[in-house]
Amino acid sequence: MNLTLKVWRQQNAQAQGGFETYQVKDISSEMSFLEMFDVLNEQLINEGKEPITFDHDCREGICGACSMHINGQPHGPWHQTTTCQLHMRAYKDGDTIVVEPWRAKAFPVIKDLMVDRRAFDRIIQAGGYISVDTGNAQDANNLPVDKHKADESFAAAACIGCGACVAACKNSSAMLFLSAKVSHLALLPQGDVERKTRVVNMVEQMDKEGFGSCTNTQACEAECPKGISVQNIRRLNAEYIRSVFSGGE
């Protein structure tokens, strides 16, 4: 198939960016979206032009690096799919595809389609961890976990921190990401040690990073490639109220 690509090019966070138009030909419908970009970059290099910078790592839908806004949707049109797992059969011959980076104050552009998502790392550093005793491991039976809570914790832990929730939100809120990280640990007995301080520290860090408030439109859940539920935001709010107004009890 032959396609027209309108790709955002920007030298850095301070530079003024803009769209550039490219033609790609003979693209296989079985290529992934990133493989199609590899073909485009090879074409640009052969023409003596600078290739397009974009983020990627595992290309297996695990790392969350492939952050592209495609035709107005984070990660493209397929439900619960990362950009690297999106295939070109989602498009038709002759289509025009518009590709942009995430748009958020907390995710400044590094170059072209790559943004700096280290704000997420700093939120995790503020409280997304548990304390453990050194020495021999406890017998697993000494820490029984309710099956329902274990399943909910596992579902929250599926968050890959890609930032699609932020890109989908008109306020660039990170509440779905934060709530997944808080829920993952709050639901397990191993997370009790930091429970009183975790949510407060992580919320404070989120606000420092410049993320907006939750809009309650649930666009974050709709665009999340791992289907993280907005019910985690309810749990986050409950954890925050417990910590701030009830001394964490």
Residue 35 above 80 pLDDT? yes
pLDDT (tens digit per residue) in 151-205: 999 999 999 999 999 999 999 999 999 999 999 999 998 888 898 899 999 999 9
What number of residues does the chain have? 249
How many separate domains does the chain show? 2
What's the chain's Rg over C-alpha atoms? 20
Tell me, what amino acid is at 115?
V
Give the strand pairing for 69-70 and 96-100: antiparallel
The CATH number that applies at residue 59 is 3.10.20.30
239 and 196 in one domain? yes
230 and 205 in one domain? yes
Rounded Cα distance between 226 and 31, Å, is 22
pLDDT (tens digit per residue) in 82-110: 999 999 999 999 999 999 999 999 999 99
The confidence score (pLDDT) of residue 245 equals: 84
Give the strand pairing for 3-9 and 18-24: antiparallel
Mean pLDDT, rounded, of the chain:
94
Task: Give 8's strand partners.
Answer: 19
Instruction: Tell me which residue has tokens 């907390």.
Output: 106
228 and 146 in one domain? yes
User: 12-21, 92-101, 135-144, 217-226 — which is least confidently predicted?
Assistant: 135-144
154 and 92 in one domain? no
77 and 190 in one domain? no
Q: What is the pTM of this model?
A: 0.92
65 and 103 in one domain? yes
Question: Are the beta carbons of 45 and 51 closer than 8 angstroms?
Answer: yes
Q: Which residue has the higher pLDDT, 225 or 245?
A: 225
Helix (H) or strand (E) holding 18: strand 18-24
Question: Are the beta carbons of 4 and 19 closer than 8 angstroms?
Answer: no
234 and 194 in one domain? yes
125 and 216 in one domain? yes
Give the domain range for residue 64.
3-111
84 and 15 in one domain? yes
Phi then psi for residue 127, to 5 deg, are 180, 0
